[in-house]
Structure 1
C-alpha cells in the first residue's frame, strides 16, 4: 500500500509516529486553525485530500457580512416549504434521492423554524460575526492581501415596491445589535450602482460589510503561510480513535498518532464525529457559480443579492461571479446545473455581463447544520479532539475568528466569543 507523502519541503510523517497537532481539512476554517496553532509554537500537520479550488471557501461570494446573524430556519419559512419542495423557487432546489439520508437534519430544521430559535441564533452568532472583518484585516496585513478587500458594503435588492415592509422585524433585530441596514429606493440604488438595469424598486445597504475580489487568493495565501514550515498529507482520514495518551488517525490505511486533532473537514466532518460518538446532523447546501465577463465599461462596485432572482452577483477579477441559491443534496449526489443556468440568464438582464461568454460551472457544498450555527467545541469522546465545522454560508467570513477559538481551546484557554451555543452536544 502506498504511503501518504508530505509535499515537497514539508516534514514527512511516518506511520505510527506521534505528532503534535493534526488539522483535518484545508478550507478557510481548517487553514486558519492550523496557522493560529502554528503561531503558538505547535507543530501542525494539515491533512486534506482535495483540490483547494473545489472547496466552498474558494467558490463563495467573498462577502464578509456584518448582517449574517440569522439562521436559514425562521418563523415564516414553514409556509414556503411546499413551494420549495415542488421546485417553484429558483432560490432552493432539493435532491429528492438525498432526502432519506437527510431525515435527521430535516427534523431538527423544522424544529428550529420558530421565533424563539431564530432570535437565539442571532444572539449566538452576533459575537462571532461582529469581529469577522477585524480578523480578516489583521490577516490581510500579515499576508499582504489587503488589496483584495473592498469595504463598500453589500446590497440586498427587491424588485417590488413594499418589500421592505416584510423585513421590518429583521431590521429591528439588526438595529438592536448595531448592524446598519440603510433603506434605499430606486434612485438610491441607481446612485450606488449605476451599472444595474432599472429592475429594482427597493433595497438595503449593509454598510459595515466588506467583500473580496478573489476568495481563492486569500485561501491560497493562508495555505502558503502555513506550509512554509509545516507538513501536508494529501490523503483521506478514514477513522479516528482517541486513546489514553493521544488520538490515532487512519490515513491511507496506516496509523498516525497525534497529541491533539482538529476536525474541520467541511461536509465530511459528520462521519468523523460519528466515529467518536457525536451524531451531528450536517448536510451540504450546494452552491454553483459561473464567472461572466463584463461588457463595456460598466461594473459593479459591491456584491448584490437579488431576492426575487435568487442569485448573488459579486464583482471579481475578470467579471461578475454569479452564484445560485441552495441545492440540498448529499456530497456524492450528481450535479444539477439547471439552477445556475436559470439564474445566470436572469442576472444578465440586470448586470452588464455577457452570459454567453461565462466560464465553466463551479460547484461546492457548504457544510450546514439545521440551526445554522457552527459546531465549535470538544468531542464527547476526548478533550484532545476539537470540532470546527458547519459554518454554512459564513465559513469564509468567520474562519479567522474560529481559528483563534480553536487554538485557545487546545491551549486550555477561553475563546474570545461564547461558544456554548455551538456545542457539538446540542443535538
Structure 2
C-alpha cells in the first residue's frame, strides 16, 4: 500500500473478476488493494465447470421455462430447486425473472453479451501467458448433448441465436458421437460441439495464480471481509470487519454473491439471488478418458475433466446467500452422470457448494454506481464470471482511468433496475 495509507483502487472480492481487475489496474500503473477473506473454496470461481465459452449468450430466463415453473416450484425438476426458506428474499428476483422469459428479452441479452464474450478466451490466454498460467487452459470445445430428436429440435431458437452471432458449432449425429467422444456410454440423439470454447482444468488454481501475480506486481493483499462501502470527500472507503478502513480513489465492488449485500450499504437494492451450485470429483474409470466438458441437457448435469478428477456439477438451487448447503440435486447428477461416463471412486467426502451471483436478466452489473462516482460495480456474472473475468477486469481498469470502455456498457448499467 502507498505510504500515505491510500491506494488508487481498492477491489472488494478476490475471485476471478476481482483478481483480474487487480491485474488490469496494475498494468495501467495504479496502486491496488485486493480485499478478500482468502478462502478460495468460497468463491464461485472455484466451483464451476471451467468453461470459457464464446457461446455464453443466454440468460437463465428462456421462453421455454415458463411451462416448467410448476415443476420448479414443487422441486420436482433436478435442473432448478428452490430453498423455500429463502423464498421471501428471492421473490423480487423471481418476479423480474418471470417477466424476462420471452424471445425479445433473450435477443436483447444475446446482443449485449456477444461483444462481452467474443474476446473472453483471447483475453484469458493473453493474461495467462503473462503470469505463467497457460498450462491450466485448453481449447477443445465443449458439447451439449441431446437425448432425443425432440429435445434437439427444441433448441432451434438457441441455435438461431448462435448462428446470428457467428458462434462456431459443429453438429454431431448420435451415431458418430462414440467415435468423437469414446468416453460416452449413454446413447444420445445429437451433440452440439462448441468448437471455440476453452476450458480450465483447475479453476481455483487459476484464480490463485491471478491473485499471486497481482501480489508480485505490487498489490496489497488484504485478507479480511468487507462490511461496508462509503464515499469520502475525495474518493471512497471500504470498512472491514474489525474496524479497519481502507481509503482509495476508487472502490471496485467485485464480491460476487456478496455484492448485493455490500451494495445495500450504499443504498442500492437490486433484485438479486444466489444460484447455488454443487460439485464432487470422481476418478475417471473409463477405458477412454473424457476429453472435454459435456452438458447432458436431459440429465441436468455437467461433467468436466479436471486435474482433480471428473467434476460432476448439479443443477441450480435458488437461495439467499449464506443458507446451509443442501446437495440433493448433486445426488441426482451423480447418478445420471454415472450412466454417461465411467465414474470411479469419489475423491472427496464432502461435496463443494457455492453461490453464483445472479440477476434476473442474466446480465452482470458493470459500471459506475449511479449516485457514487468513486464506486465501480463489477458483480452479478451468474455462470460466466470465470470465463469473462479478464474482460471485466479490463473494463474496470478502463473505467478507473477514464478510458473509453472497449465493450459497450449500457446494457450492464445498474440504473436498469
Do they superpose with TM above 0.5?
yes
Please say which of residues 398-407 and 43-52 is displaced more in the overlay: 43-52
Deviation of 1:359 (Å): 5.1
Listed as ranges, the gaps of 5+ residues in structure 1 are 1-10
Are the counterparts in 2 of residues 153 and 210 from structure 1 also a CA contact under 8 Å?
A: yes
Are the counterparts in 1 of residues 280 and 346 from structure 2 also a CA contact under 8 Å?
A: no
Are the counterparts in 1 of residues 286 and 341 from structure 2 also a CA contact under 8 Å?
A: no
Q: Does 1:411 align with 2:401?
A: yes
CA distance in 2, matches of 1:324, 1:130: 26
Deviation of 1:369 (Å): 0.5
Q: Of 339, 361, 377, which aligns to 1:387?
A: 377
Question: Cα gap change, 1:190/1:422 in structure 2, threshold over 3 Å: closer, same or farther?
Answer: same
Question: Cα gap change, 1:111/1:195 in structure 2, threshold over 3 Å: closer, same or farther?
Answer: same
Q: Does 1:351 align with 2:332?
A: no
Q: Does 1:64 align with 2:52?
A: yes
Deviation of 1:76 (Å): 1.9
The answer for the alignment partner of 1:3 in structure 2 is: none
Q: Of 214, 238, 242, which aligns to 1:249?
A: 238
Q: Does 1:360 align with 2:356?
A: no
CA distance in 1, matches of 2:23, 2:245: 24
CA distance in 1, matches of 2:34, 2:293: 32
State the 4+ residue runs in structure 1 displaced beyond 4 angstroms.
Answer: 11-14, 355-359
Q: Of 248, 259, 270, which aligns to 2:249?
A: 259
CA distance in 1, matches of 2:143, 2:303: 10
Are the counterparts in 2 of residues 277 and 381 from structure 1 also a CA contact under 8 Å?
A: no
Deviation of 1:13 (Å): 8.7
Are the counterparts in 1 of residues 186 and 339 from structure 2 also a CA contact under 8 Å?
A: no
The answer for the alignment partner of 2:115 in structure 1 is: 127
Question: Cα gap change, 1:22/1:318 in structure 2, threshold over 3 Å: closer, same or farther?
Answer: closer
Deviation of 1:161 (Å): 2.6
The answer for the alignment partner of 2:28 in structure 1 is: 40
Please say which of residues 225-234 and 89-98 is displaced more in the overlay: 225-234
Mapping of 1:91-240 within 5 angstroms?
A: 91-228=79-216, 229-240=218-229
CA distance in 2, matches of 1:357, 1:238: 36
Listed as ranges, the gaps of 5+ residues in structure 2 are none
SS of 1:344's partner is helix
Deviation of 1:255 (Å): 3.0
Deviation of 1:338 (Å): 1.1
Mapping of 1:318-337 within 5 angstroms?
A: 318-337=308-327
Q: Deviations over 1:336-366 (max 9, x none)?
A: 0211112112211211211555553011111
Q: Deviations over 1:35-68 (max 9, x none)?
A: 1111111110011114012211111110011111
CA distance in 1, matches of 2:3, 2:349: 39
Deviation of 1:331 (Å): 1.8
SS of 2:155's partner is helix
Q: Deviations over 1:122-152 (max 9, x none)?
A: 0000000010011011012112222222211
Deviation of 1:162 (Å): 3.0
Q: TM-score, normalised by structure 2?
A: 0.96
CA distance in 2, matches of 1:334, 1:20: 37
Are the counterparts in 1 of residues 146 and 296 from structure 2 also a CA contact under 8 Å?
A: yes
CA distance in 2, matches of 1:331, 1:415: 31
CA distance in 1, matches of 2:281, 2:2: 38
Are the counterparts in 2 of residues 29 and 399 from structure 1 also a CA contact under 8 Å?
A: yes
Q: Does 1:286 align with 2:281?
A: no
Deviation of 1:163 (Å): 2.0
CA distance in 2, matches of 1:226, 1:413: 21
CA distance in 2, matches of 1:295, 1:359: 18
The answer for the alignment partner of 2:78 in structure 1 is: 90
Q: Deviations over 1:223-272 (max 9, x none)?
A: 11001122112112112111231212211223332111000001111122
CA distance in 2, matches of 1:257, 1:195: 53
RMSD: 1.6
CA distance in 2, matches of 1:58, 1:374: 19
Q: Deviations over 1:16-35 (max 9, x none)?
A: x4332100000000000011
